[in-house]
Structure formats: structure tokens, C-alpha cells
Structure 1
Amino acid sequence: MSHSIFCVVLFLTIFCVGISLASSIKEQKRDKIKWLPGQPKIVGFEQYSGYVTVNEESGRALFYWLTEAPLSHGPNSKPLVLWLNGGPGCSSIAYGASEEIGPFRIRPDGKSLYLNPYAWNNLANILFLESPAGVGFSYCNKTTDMQNFGDQKTAEDAYIFLVNWFERFPQYKHREFYMAGESYAGHYVLQLAQIVNQRNKGVSNPVINFQGFMVGNGVIDDYHDYIGTFEYWWTHGLISDSTYKKLNIGCDFGSIQHPSVQCLQALTVAITEQGNIDGYSINTPPCNNTASLRSGLHDRYPWMYRAYDPCAERYSDVYFNRPEVQKALHANVTGISYAWKACSGTVWDYWTDSPLSMLPIYQELINADLRIWVYSGDTDAVIPLTATRYSIGALKLPTIMNWYPWYDNGKVCGWSQVYKGLTLVTVRGAGHEVPLHRPREAFILFRSFLENKNMPSS
């Protein structure tokens, strides 16, 4: 190549990079949140929110909310963590951001916010994503698209979102990147992690510098979920001996995608015997006279429809439907015809693709030498600790550190076991949403994960 041609190529490269950078700065400025209605006067960190298009033809766009680490903590040196909630059809803004790990909690009036002292953005830059399209503020202009959703399509859209999002926020390219989530995000996180890992192969310095993930009270393997859930109900005194026997006889664990009539009848009796409790947190009182769409896939997990204390959902429903809040978040820019909801019944009603087991993907990602942590609140009766332990046991991983208690200020906060390629942590007294019920313990858990250190054993 002659000197003149080289100079032209170099000039064009610099010119194109400059245009791209200018475009990113403009988009970031557009997405920057100046002020949220009702937020405290001083927050000390930057926030961004808006839409990333994942399919031009169908007009599918996913809504995100980035809460960076406080300026005093050096956000530029902190990793990026993507948080996903499950359902399918439930919002990461409603749960992860507003009830669990986000910097703000919503007061019962649905108008004002207060700071969460154990917000995870004190340790990392947290990116919340409402996924798939049709959940929360995420939308699709093609109605038929929303009638054909499932795991694979959700994972592909989430990957396209990440690729496009990193173009908008190039300062996060090559930064340490992790994923986290709970419940049906036990599918979302695994399948997205698989795609990222596979497409990073052979790339020396990948834009998405994926290091690992953690999943809490997640759906892992249907076979073990059934066995572990029924066992949990029985051992915790939630159902009778006779019902436990009927569940084990009537429910065919080898073919559980379509429960038999006998299985459904036994489940109906089991739910009656459990009474008016919050199955997602059996030691806390339920919020009565309301219904929640917290979980879906009724045919697969018939017990999931009941319980979860929906009181906090009420606060979210009020807050995120306020026009001034939507304007501040750069949300609902297309004038969605329906109200924002914590969970979308439409998404889960049309769910078409849900593999029976994530265990093969776990094995694939363990072989990829990623950091993998699984945690479980031990008062969740919907995706209980017993189900998680059976699933992890099925991987037959060698044990590096046997079961031991972990502590905070001399108090036992749970137990942990370190396997080759995977760490299991329980959180004592926590329900389905561990950071909601045990925020300090969840914060310690997250810190240990990021630092790649075992849970404190003394």
C-alpha cells in the first residue's frame, strides 16, 4: 500500500470513528435522566434510560435503565452487571430496580422515592432490562410478534440489545461484564450467557467482556423442580402426608410438560391445604385481596400462580404510570395503548418455547471457565432450595469446599458449598426475592461474587 493510500485509509478510519463517537455522545445525552419525580435531592450517581431497537422490521424495542456507581466510588473502574427478572413477562424495573437491588425504593403513596442503602450500584454499574418486547415499557409494533415469543427469541433479542447498547455506550466496551437474575431468569440468563460465550469464541478482545453470572431461586430443571418443590411443601408442613403421596404418584416427573388430571387434582388440594400464605415467602404475611401475575407457565408450574405479596407492585403500578415519570425516564415514547404493568399476561399467555432443562447449558458454561454462582432464599416455596439442590446435584460436580455456614457480624446468614466450576449459596430467612427480604445479606453475597471470594465463614 502506497503512503498516500495509507493516509487516506487512516483519515477515513479516524473520520468514521469520530462520527460514531459523536453519535454515541448525542444518544447518551438524550438518554440521561436529569431528575426522577420524587427522588431524594442528592443521589451522587448518573442514570440513563431509553430504548434500543432490536428488530427494525417488527419495530421491537427494549427499554433499559442504567444506574451507574456513585461518582465517589469511581464508576469508570467498576464492572457492568445486567439484571433480568423472569415471569416470563415480568419487569426488571418493577422488581429488580424498584424492590430489590436498585438505588431507589417507592413509598406506598406511589409518588416519592427513598434511597436503598444496600443498592448494588454501590459495587457495580447496574443495567436493568425489560425483556422481551411487551414487558413493561418494551414494545413491538407488530402484534403477531408478541404471540410468538419464547426463550430463544428472547435470548437473541437480548443479545442484539447488548451489541447495540455497547455501541451507544462505548466506554463500557471491554469492561468486565456479568449477568444476574432470578426466577425464570434462570432461563434468560443461561441462554443469553450461552449466546455471548459462543459468539466471543476466537475473539481476542471481545466487546462484551463476559466473565460470569449469578442466578437466584431460578428455574433450572423441570424434573428436579417438581421433586424438590413437593418435598419442600411436605417437609415444611405446608401439605399433608396423603397429598404428598398423591403428588408423587399422580405427577409423572418424566413427562411434566402437561400434568395429568390426577396431578392437577393433587395440586389443587395442596394449594387448599397451604391456606392463605405467601408461597414466595412463607414466613411473611401476604397482601390480601389482590391478584398478581408474578409468574407464568401455569401448565408447567401450576403452583406458581398463587402467592407473591403484591403490595409493592401497587406502588410500582402507580409510580411508573405517572406521565411525568415516563417523561423523565424517556419511556412510552410511542404512546403504548396499554398501561404499564409489573407483569404482562399477554407475554406469558403466548409463550411458545421453554426447554425442560438448563443443565446442559450449565455444563457448557462451566466448561468455559466462567464464574457461576447460584443462590437461594430458603423460605421460597415456589422455586425452593430443595429444587435447586437437586438440580445442582444432577451436575455431579466435584466438591471443593463442603457445606459450611457463612456469617455477618457473628450471625449465621446462610450456608454455602463450593463445587468445581460453581458456587451454591443459601440465604437464611429470605424468600423468592432475596434482596427484598435480606438486603444486607444479598449485598454481601453480590460483593463476594464480584470479588470472586468465598462467603465469609467466620
Structure 2
Amino acid sequence: MGHSFFFVLCLPFLFLGTCYSLSSVEQERDRIKELPGQPVNVGFSQYSGYVTVNQQAGRALFYWLIEAPASRGPESRPLLLWLNGGPGCSSVGYGAAEEIGPFRINSDGKTLFLNPYAWNNLANVLFLESPAGVGFSYSNTTSDLYNAGDQRTAEDAYTFLIKWFERFPQYKHRDFYIAGESYAGHYVPQLSQIVYQINRGVDNPVINFKGFLVGNAVTDDYHDYIGTFEYWWTHGLISDSTYKLLRLACDFGSATHPSSVCMKALSIAQAEEGNIDPYSIYTGTCNDTSSLQRNLRGHYPWMSRAYDPCTERYSEVYFNLPEVQRAFHANITGIPYPWKGCGDIVGNYWADSPKSVLPIYQELISAGLRIWVYSGDTDSVVPLTATRYSIDALKLTTITNWYPWYDNGKVGGWSQVYKGLTLVTVTGAGHEVPLHRPRLAYILFRSFLENKPMPR
């Protein structure tokens, strides 16, 4: 699956003299005719299926391509690859179904409704479940699930792209961007680095890579943890004494694993924070009651359709429906475990994870690639303070100092433009910015594609 060669298949017995490229046959095989429960006449094409990235081990990655609507000219739109982090979490379950995709899943777990701020209105969007063992992606070699890591994830993702472009040759040489959030703060720059290094010196490369966009991104262990502890303290989530203890006990700049003293301090912090959603500290947690969603509508007016903290549960119902898996051409090998938003195994046995991806930033900034970093300011897991410390460590020259950006006369967040990097904050948004503030995230993505500053 995922052929890296090309030949033509002729079917004179059907249409005299008509020939089909293998890629078009494979595309048609992957075409989604209709998803169960989707609104009718959506106006855009969808494809999904598998690309084998390692024949010997039997590793195959699952993708879902959602093209721009026909009315918006998908053939002239760029291609965006979206990656979720974890490690071990699904880009289909989070990025596509909760954040930037065209569909949202209703609370019945069976029907879908449209997202008016879907990013495929601006670009053709490719979601990849990575690494093998996440979502519908699989490996026939069990040990692969227990020794995944950053390096192999990046290498497999690059192999996927090369083979995917053979299957979809109409996207070769098209402007191409990579985006993601959370632990994809590692995946996105690491994959970007591979693409950039292989493209270097190549005229008109097949993967016409232009830049990347990351949100609430894990970036640098030392600065991430310093910034996270500071966020907890300044937002009243932990006591003064616990903040001091965390600063003393958790030396993430030198230790690979947190010490027992640090783990104890983290446990104290968690107890002090209480029963909150750490990914969105001012919204309620999922408690299985329908009243919660109704109450949110009044208390959080900035949230489109009211943020529903139970969305992950709806995804797990929907993507495990046999008719949904058939429509997606998914689970064709009979995976022995149910689809989950975040896998139990992959993230718990992570083989390699560098302490910092800032050296990659430095390399790609020097290469002149477009790099934007955004942050929802109500996330306490990878908070804005962590991102600001990490960016500050790059010691970049400021082009445009900190300023508020606006949507319809209201502040949508703040931005600072550096030489080689743009930072954007989104007010009132948690860890998954497009979930909490879909309209503002849409404006952000549009500005990124146009390479224009956020609107003043």
C-alpha cells in the first residue's frame, strides 16, 4: 500500500482507449462517499485510508484528507498537514472532530453537524494518526507499540508524505504547511526539519514546504516547566509554599526523569488545583449531565455553541461504530483494541524525547521558513508563560512589539512579531484553541496563510 512508483492501468474493455493512472485508482478507492450521520450536500471531497510506512514491520498510518469546498477552488488552495500530540493522541479524534475539521459529533455519538469555522475553507487539510498504534494506525509488530519515539515518528511521517504524494500527485509542488498542538510541538518541527534538509538544494521539490504553525506546544523542558509552575501560582491554582517547592525540587534542566521529591511536589500541586479541567481552567469538567452544557452557554459567552467538555466521549462512540469504520476504510486488519482518542500503550513507553526543540527552531528560522506559535491563555498544561519563556530563550530581534489584535472591535488576543517567528495569544482559549475559540482560531490561520500580522 502506498506505492512509490507509477504506471498506467488501461481498461479498453470498459472505455475504448481510456487509461487510468494507478494513483487515480488508489484515490478512488480511498474516496469517502458519505460519513454516517453527516449533513447532506457538504460540497467538498473527502478521502481516507492507509499508507504503509514500513513493509517489513507492517506499520501503516491512517489519514483523512478533507479538501476545500468546490466553491472555493481546492485545486488552488495549499495543503496543510495537522498532527496531534500526546504522545499517543489521535489527529482524527481531536484535530478533525473537535477543532479544525468541518464536522462536530453530536452528543448521541451518531450524528454530525457542521463547523462554520473549519480550516478546510482556507486550505486542503490532511489529518494523520501517528505514530502506529494511535487511532486506526497500526503495526503488525507488537514491539512497535512499546518502543515508539520522536525519531521514528518523524521518519515514519516523512515516509508517509512521500508515498501519499505519489497517491495524490495533484498535490505535488503545492504550497505545503505543517501544524499541530501540544506534544506535536515536537512532531511538527522535527518533521519540518527532515523535509527542509532533504529539500535543500532541490529545485521545485515535490514537498513544497513553506512553514509551520504550532499551538500550546511542548518546546523546551526547562522553560516549559518553569513557565508552567509560574502559571499555576499566578492564576491562584497552587499555594506559595508549593510553588517554592516545585521550583526547588523539579530540576527539569538536568534530570531525564522527575525525582521522587519532584513527583511528590507535583502530587501536592494537583491536590491543591482540585477538580478542574487543567486544559481549560475556567470551564467545567465532563460529568455526564446534559445540564452542564446548557449552563455553559450563559457563563461563557465567548464560546461558539457553548464548549462541551464531553466531546472526547462522543468521538469514542462515533469512531467505534462499524458503519463509520467501513465508510472510512479503517480497521481493515481487525485491530484487537477499540479506537481511542489517546492510546493506552504508545504514550507510556516512549523511547526518545529531546529536552528541547529550540535548536530546530534556530535552524529553520535561519532557513527563512514561516514559523508561527500560538497559545490559548487558559491552558495550565502547556501554558502561555511556558511558551513565552521558550521563545525568549531564542533571543530573537523584535520587529513589532506586543500589541492587541481584534475581531469585530473586541480583543482576540495579543501578538509579537520577531525576526523569523510570530507569537499569537488567543484570549479565553484553552489547550485546544480551535475548540474553545473557533472563530479566533480561524482568523489566526487565515493570517498565517496570508503571512500578514494579526488584525489590529
**Please, what TM-score do these two structures have when normalized by structure 1?**
0.91
Equivalent-residue separation in structure 2 for 1:352 and 1:46 (angstroms): 37
Aligned to 1:345: 344
Q: Percent identity?
A: 75
Equivalent pairs counted in the alignment come to 426
Amino acid at match of 2:215: G
Cα contact 2:6–2:22 (8 A) shared by 1: no
SS in structure 2 of the partner of residue 351 of structure 1: coil
Tell me the residue number matched to 2:421. 422
C-alpha distance in 2, partners of 1:117/1:154? Answer: 32
User: Could you tell me whether the CA contact under 8 Å between 2:6 and 2:21 is conserved in 1?
Assistant: no
C-alpha deviation, 1:375, in angstroms: 0.1
CA-to-partner distance for each residue in 1:410-438, whole Å, 9 max, x for gaps?
Answer: 00010000000000000000000000000
CA shift digits 1:111-161 (9 cap, x unpaired): 000000000000000000000000000000011122211000000000000
Look up the match of 2:207. 208
Tell me the residue number matched to 2:445.
446
Match of 2:295 in 1: none
Structure 1 pair 120–143 and aligned structure 2 pair: CA distance change class (3 A):
same
* Partner residue in 1 for 2:107: 108
Amino acid at match of 1:152: Q
2:288/2:310 contact within 8 Å kept = no
User: Residue 232 of structure 2 aligns to which amino acid in structure 1?
Assistant: W
Alignment-derived partner of residue 47 in structure 1? 46
The answer (yes or no) to whether the contact 1:84–1:188 under 8 Å persists in 2 is yes
2:207 equivalent to 1:223: no
The one-letter code sitting in structure 2 at the alignment partner of 1:277 is: I
Range 21-30 or range 415-424, more displaced: 21-30
Deviation at 1:243, TM superposition (A): 0.7
CA deviations over 1:362-382 (Å, ceiling 9, x no partner): 000101100000000000000
In the aligned structure 1, how far is the partner of 2:438 from the partner of 2:237? 26
- Alpha-carbon separation, structure 2, partners of 1:148 and 1:245: 36
Q: Deviations over 1:398-420 (max 9, x none)?
A: 00000000000000010000000
Give the conservation status (yes or no) of the 8 Å contact 2:6–2:23: no
Paired residues for 1:23-62 under 5 Å: 23-62=22-61
Distance 1:236 1:313 in 2: 26
How far the C-alpha of 1:17 sits from its partner, in A, is 5.6
- Alignment partner of 1:395 is 2:394: yes
Matched to 1:443, the amino acid is Y
Unaligned 5+ runs, structure 2: 10-18, 290-306
Q: Distance in 2 between matches of 1:381 and 1:257?
A: 22
Contact 2:172 2:207 in 1 (8 A): yes
Q: Which runs of 5 or more structure 1 residues have no equivalent in the other structure? A: 1-14, 291-307
Quick check: 2:284–2:309 contact (8 Å CA) kept in 1?
Answer: no
Deviations 1:30-57 (A, max 9, x none): 0000010000012000000000000000
- Please tell me whether residue 361 in structure 1 is matched to residue 360 in structure 2: yes
Residues 107 and 114, structure 1, Cα contact 8 Å, conserved in 2: yes
Residue 288 of structure 1: CA displacement?
3.6
Provide the rounded CA distance (Å) in 1 between the counterparts of 2:128 and 2:284.
Answer: 30
Relative to 1, partners in 2 of residues 1:88 and 1:246: Cα closer, same or farther, differing over 3 Å? same
3-state DSSP of counterpart to 2:242: helix
Within 1, Cα distance between the matches of 2:85 and 2:308? 16
Contact 2:184 2:217 in 1 (8 A): yes
Shift of 1:21: 6.3
C-alpha distance in 2, partners of 1:289/1:176? 43
* Range with bigger deviation, 446-455 or 347-356: 347-356
Deviation string, structure 1 residues 287-343 (Cα, Å, up to 9, x no partner): 1489xxxxxxxxxxxxxxxxx986111100100000000000000011111111111
- Distance in 1 (alpha carbons) for counterparts of 2:22 and 2:418: 45
Aligned partner of 2:181 in structure 1 is: 182
Alignment match, 2:246? 247
Q: CA deviation at 1:250?
A: 1.3
CA distance in 1, matches of 2:256, 2:308: 27
Contact in 1 for aligned 2:252/2:258 (Cα 8 Å) = no
Deviation at 1:181, TM superposition (A): 0.2
Structure 2 counterpart SS, 1:345: coil
Given the two structures, how large is their TM-score scaled by the length of structure 2? 0.92
Q: Which residue number corresponds to residue 80 of structure 1?
A: 79
Which secondary structure does the structure 2 equivalent of 1:363 belong to? helix
Structure 1 residues 289 and 207, CA, compared in 2 at 3 Å: closer, same or farther?
same
- SS of 2:139's partner is coil
Match of 1:295 in 2: none
Inter-partner Cα distance in structure 1 for 2:406 and 2:341: 34
**Cα distance in structure 1, aligned partners of 2:186 and 2:251:** 22
How far 1:68 moved relative to its partner? 0.1
**CA 1:395–1:309 in structure 2 vs 1: closer, same or farther (change >3 Å)?**
farther
CA distance in 2, matches of 1:67, 1:174: 18
Superposed CA RMSD in Å reads 1.6
Corresponding residue of 1:157: 156
Q: Could you say what secondary structure the match of 1:197 adopts?
A: helix
Contact 1:60 1:141 in 2 (8 A): yes
- Contact (CA 8 Å) 1:278, 1:309: kept in 2 or not? no
How many angstroms apart in 1 are the aligned matches of 2:24 and 2:251?
Answer: 56
